[in-house]
Every structure is written in structure tokens, then in C-alpha cells.
Chain A
């Protein structure tokens, strides 16, 4: 009866180690380097938080005016 650590070690020791062939490995690396140094396109990551903030501020202003109108 083997314990968990023994079984894990057996798996780690005996699993077949394989790698991509050399040509494939060079191709992937070259593409990744190209992607790393490619000029970045326009990013709209700022748009969503800005819109959320604008809507939130609008709601607060509207609520403030509604309370003012009620007590006037």
C-alpha cells in the first residue's frame, strides 16, 4: 500500500517527458517575440470604468436634487 506522496512521486518520476520539436519551439518563440514588440493598438479598457463612474455621479447628483426639491 503506497501513500499519497509515494504515488505522486511515482507519477512525477515515470511520466513520459516530451517537448515540442525544435522547429515548432523556435516558431512559437519567434511569434511570441513579435507579439511582445508589436505596437499596441487602441485600448478601450478605460471606457467601462469611466462610464460607470459617470453614471454613478449622475445618479448621486439627481438624488441630491430630488431631496432638495422635496424640502424646498
Chain B
């Protein structure tokens, strides 16, 4: 008899129903519907498992073999099956192909130290205690300042992640660009002209840039140090989930959580292996030949697979390993249903990355030439692929371009036709996007491969960041500022990383989760004492940022009628309906427009190209739709 768990049906909570009470350290596992109002099916699911468990003589845990899957299985076996969490056997598999599933059930093994489940349960408890206490402390402080209740959350990983964004935001907002000059020379030999960059990419003063021009124009240049080399470029390592998320963002612009969703659908369709893996390694046990054979049945991969099968397949391996699952790879199965375009693209990416791992190194010819004019040096170079190796298998994702190689020999003489001096300014640092933020979290060792994408989504949901470019709001700034002042450990990377490392040790079988929980309680108690002692100041700071953020969310853009006011979402005192009005209404501007009464109104950065009125998205119900708020916009089609 087989019964599905369908995600977490138990969740951590505290026995008090009052949301304002803190500190809360007495936590327990409850049916998820009591903890999370969206988990409406949990109670029915638990009742069904209980019914099926009654009278069962043997239990097999076949949930995903990772921290979350182990936690789900452990809790069901413990609470719904009458304490069978240690007696149950374990089925372990990394793909949902028939062959792997049969093998997993033929080779059932006893639950060992249950490190993954213990670590998972401890992580849930720590994150709950952390989040609930600090969020309640902050929300209550803001409430004490007189405004309506609004949740202001600071999660264990969320705090340091917001800290990274704020640090970058400060650099951007305080940025003053410095001028520099870019110098390039135009050289001529036998009627053929070539361009070369000055050896110093950024010339810091105008005087020096001008001097280079004066010294060189009309003079002669000699080609020195013509270096030709062949570079070996090894194949990219197999995908773990972080790599796949970064590559899918680069190739398709998909955000990390969407990539994970698509990858999970492909896994459930038995098309790829388990995606929530940290491994960059493909062990021989996955049976390279069988997978290649399966992949080769598709016409587009058949010639590539035929080439790879000429020799004994041996993939490149990455440095990261995960004892639970291999790197993400295709299973070689054919889709049993039509795939949508994003699924097909993702499967192609995973398949080609897998094939590329078996390919030989690519060879690129590189040329670097120095053209010397007196004391000045100009450089030009180029590169082209002479042997594509793995790039042939990775196809359009390989990302190497050929540039024309200069046909120059050492000692060739050129006339300096002109020297171009172009003034530039330094660019401000780029904002994080979802992909680069994920990379930063990975590098700093905070969060897990399963949770990072969700944490990034939560930052936007809480109003701490806005837009695709993740611009930090006043509220996000204020939360980090307040924490830095009164409870710096909360946004400290060190504390979060330390907890992650200890949890990883528990995953590996070490004891210590109880002590880790006690440590967390001690740490939070200290932080709460600081926050509580400064409740009034904290409340004032958070509250004014909340007000600023909320008020900004009503601004749609510049008023095209009076040119000085802002068009905002306003609610009529009499009809209670919302509409667009100008902030200069009190001084005479009568610009106004109706708005749909349902859905969230979200401003876009660019005004309408036809009438310069703001363009908004209306979100809610179905697909978000764009709307120029001007009812008389010439761009709107007449019925």
C-alpha cells in the first residue's frame, strides 16, 4: 500500500494563540492546518495515513532523501503511524524511473542515525523560535508607535541576506562617479587599418590622456611581443541546484524559485534526477551508457551521443559532493506528456550540460599583440575556437565568441593615424539580482539549497525590496539599521553560518541538536532584551519607515498635466472607490483617472509612450495586465 505525504503535514508552532506574546520558546509539532491557514489538507491527509497505518506490519519511508524529505517522513511515521520512525525501512533513490524505484525497494535499508531528520527538525525549531520572537518584538514595537499592525519579520537567514542587499544599496546611493579617459589608437600598414586600446585601460587624468595623443599622433609604432597561444578550456562541471539556477537565469532569465519549480516538475516526470542536490559529481553507479543511450533516442541529440559513445564515457567531476544525491542529470526517459516551453528548455539545458561533461576540452587560439610608440604601449588581441570539444555538446549555452585575430608579426611597422581620447565615468556597483544574490548566499554559507530561493522571495513579499533589480525600500533599510544598532547578531553572517555548520554536522550523524537549540534560545534572549530596552526608539524608526514605504507604494509617477506633481492612488472619502489623482490637487491641478477597483495596482518605471501618463500593472485574479491610466490615451484602440 502506497500513501503520499504531499509536503509538510506537520509544522512547528507555540501553544499560545495570542500573536503578540513573546518570548516563545516552548514549541511543538502540530498538524500543519493549525499552524498555517493555507495547509487546509493536512488534517485530512494525517487522518488518511492514520487509517492506513492501523494494522500495517511494516513501514517504508520513501520520501525524498534530503533534509526536508526526511523530516516529512519522520514526522508522519512518528505522529501518524504510532511511533514507527525508527522501525521503518528506507527506500533511497535519485530518479523516479521504474528501474531506480524497483531497485530502491529491493534494497531497503534500516533508518540509520537519522541525522537528516534530526537536523531538519532542529532547523525548523530554530527558525521558528528565531523568526517568531524577533518578528513579534519588531511588530509590537512598531505597533506601540500608534499605527496599524503589520508584520515586520526578521528570519535567521533572511536578516543577513537583507544585510547584503542593504550594504550594496548604500554603496549605490552614496556613489560619486570618478572621471577617467579611455585612449585608443588607429594604426595603418599597407592601407590596412587596425584599432588598439592603450595599455592602461583607465587613464586617470585628462593631462595624461592628452599627452598620449600628442606623443603618438603622426608617429610610428612597432609590433612587439606578438604572443600566440593555445588555451585548453575544460568542460563545465555537472549541475548542482545552485549552478542550474544561475545558468537558467543567464540563459533564460528565469528566477531561482521558478527554476526549482520547473526542475521539480521534470523530476516528477522521471525526466531528470532529484534537483535539490549540492553535488557536482556524476558517479558511475548512475550508469552513464544507459543514460546516453536513452538521451540518444531523441533526434537532436543522436549524433552527439553517437560520438560520445565511441570511447568509454568518463565525465568531468566538480569539487562539491552531496552524499544523498548525484549531480542533476537527465534520466534518458522520453516525456510521457507534452512539455511546455520552459520545461522543454530546462530539459535541453540539463541534457546538454550532461553531454558536455563527457566532452573533451575545447581548444582556443589566443593572440595578444603590443604596439609600441615610444614610451607608450597599445594592445590588441583576439581569440577563436580551433577545436570545440565539449562546446559542441553544450551548444548555444557555451557562451564563447570568436573575434578576428590580427595577422601581425613581430617587428611589423605601423603609422599612427590617430589617437582617440574618450572621457568616461566609473559605473556604480550593480544591484544584486536573484541569481547573484543566490550566489552570494552560497558563498557566505547561509541558507540551504532548498530554502535560499524562497528566502529571496520573502524579502520582496515583506516589502523590504522592490522590483526585478531588488532595490531596497525604506523599510528594508530601517530594519537593518535598527538591527545593527540594537541586535547586531541577528543580521550577522557569522552567527547564521555557525548554526548552518552545526546543523550540517548533525546531518552527517553527529549529536548536538539539543545543545544548538539551547544556544539559539540564549542568543535570542539576549537580543530580545536589547530590543525590549529600546522598544520606543525601535518602534519609532520602524514605524516611520513603514509609513514611507506604504506612501511610496501609492505613487504612480510624474503628473503629465502640471509637470510638477505626482499622480497617486487616492481613495474617495464619499464613494470609497480608488482613482488616480495629482498631489497638486490642493493648488489647482485637476488631473485624475479612474482605476479598476479590484487587484493590486503596481507602478512601472516608464510612462506611457503615447501620452506620458503612468503605466501600471493590475495584479490579482488572472494574469497581471498592463494599463495606461489615462482613459483618453491615444494608444488605446477604439472599440
A binds B: no
Residues of B at the A interface (CB closer than 8 Å) are: none
